[in-house]
Copies of this chain bind each other. A is one copy, B any other.
Amino acid sequence: MAAGELTIDQKIKYVQDTLFVISGKWKLPILMAINSGNNRFRDIQRALPGITTRVLSKELKDLEENRLLKRTVYNASPATVDYTVTTYCRNLKPLVDEMIKWGENHRAELKKEA
């Protein structure tokens, strides 16, 4: 098999890995919110109507563990915390772009024969 080629089983495995990392309602939206300039906990929450502090807190931790974002604490008073996406996180852009395109198109598709 030529280099770079994968078996269907490997492909399925990698897709499942990816699904696992970005799974859930909020992970990608959180990254998108941060990436578009919302770097503080409160800002992120405001940018994502419906998310609770508990969920946001947990998701931020997961994303940090997967090296998709970085958490920086500033010991000012009141203490502030900054979240920024990592360079590694930017690898997700093509994927996210595809999801935006597909989601947009899918909405149109479902309308067709509603």
Which A residues contact B (CB, under 8 angstroms)?
6, 8, 11-25, 28-29, 32-33, 36, 47-48, 66-67, 88, 91-92, 94-96, 98-107, 109-110
Contacts and interface: CB of A to CB of B under 8 A. Distances in A.
Nearest to A35: B8
Main secondary structure of the interface of A (DSSP, over half): helix
A36 to B, nearest CB: 5
Contacts of A98: 94-95, 98
Given A8-B32, A25-B19, A14 B100 contact: yes
A33 B75 CA distance: 52
B11 A100 contact: yes
A89 to B, nearest CB: 11
